[in-house]
Amino acid sequence: MSMRIDYNKAAPAGIKALGSVYGYLTQCGLSAQLIELIYLRISQINGCAYCLDMHTRSLRKMGVQVEKLALLQVWREADVLFDADERAALAWAETVTRVAETAIPDDEYHAARAVFSEKQLVDLTIAIGLMNTYNRIAIGFRNPPQAVAEQSAAA
């Protein structure tokens, strides 16, 4: 797979603006591990190899156990591995990411609000929107995952 467009070079101001949103999220008060976990789950839903690789590496550096990462796709079946905040965030991330299918039902909103304050839920939704945007950019322009780029360079 070769990159179609180097979007960092083609639209540096736009990518920098997305980076500003990312910067906001790093200081918004939500835990970095929680945000990375939803980034990974969203990237699983969207099938973004670049982001799957990046966020898995990031979570491993944070000390997240491989079993938790391996079972993230089926977190409802492995719910004992995820705390209440993580379960609520993952459910919210899934319904928001699949908005065309879900229309984000009231019961899912109320479940998220039972765990998160208004600000936290808005910040979480900003993070979800940002990751969906990054996924679409990386998939659309075929940004190769680090593991693939490293293997290709070694060959």
**pLDDT at res. 18:** 98
What predicted TM-score, i.e. pTM, was given to this entire model? 0.94
**pLDDT at res. 150:** 78
**In order along the chain (155 residues), what is the average pLDDT of each group of 10 residues?**
91 98 98 98 97 97 98 97 98 98 98 98 98 97 84 73
Amino acid code (one letter) for 76: R
Go through the domains of the chain in sequence order and give each one's CATH number: 8-154 (1.20.1290.10)
| Tokens read off for 32 | 């970095």
Alpha carbon distances (Å) from 145 to 25, 38, 126: 23, 18, 24
Alpha carbon distances (Å) from 4 to 49, 70, 102, 131, 139: 15, 30, 32, 20, 10
Alpha carbon distances (Å) from 103 to 54, 64, 96, 134: 29, 32, 8, 22
**pLDDT at res. 1:** 66
